[in-house]
Amino acid sequence: EAQVTQNPRYLITVTGKKLTVTCSQNMNHEYMSWYRQDPGLGLRQIYYSMNVEVTDKGDVPEGYKVSRKEKRNFPLILESPSPNQTSLYFCASSQTGRGYTFGSGTRLTVV
């Protein structure tokens, strides 16, 4: 089944403790993106990647890192999480940058 898989689905962590949210797609897509979604603010792009080893900042990259060492994986790294990074996170992929397929989401709480 064609899908984007994110893990974990839910995560509660403490301020400053490094964490990684994984994202993997099995569709051989070139484009991948990370979004966060907050009430009243909608979907905001954190980082995106147009291909292996090609990444760029989105609208809200501060406090996040990504890597794209292989086509299928696009992990999101929070080196030192803070409470303002509490949010619902989505990974998405697309072959042509047109219709994106989204992962199921990761609800992150930083206390």
**Part in contact with another protein (CB under 8 A); list of ranges 13-21, 33-41, 60-68, 69-77:** 33-41
Binding to another protein in span 74-103, by CB under 8 A: 88, 90, 96-103
What is the C-alpha to C-alpha distance for residues 70 and 111, in angstroms, rounded to an integer?
32
Instruction: Select the residue interacting with another protein from 56, 69, 70, 79 (CB under 8 A).
Output: 56
Which structure tokens are listed for 42? 């909608």
CB 27 to another protein: min, Å: 13
For 93, the 3-state DSSP assignment is strand
Half-sphere exposure of 47 (CA within 13 A, CB side): 20
| Contact yes or no for 34/64 (Cβ under 8 A) | yes
Binding site for another protein (CB under 8 A): 31, 33, 40-45, 48, 50, 56, 58, 88, 90, 96-105, 107
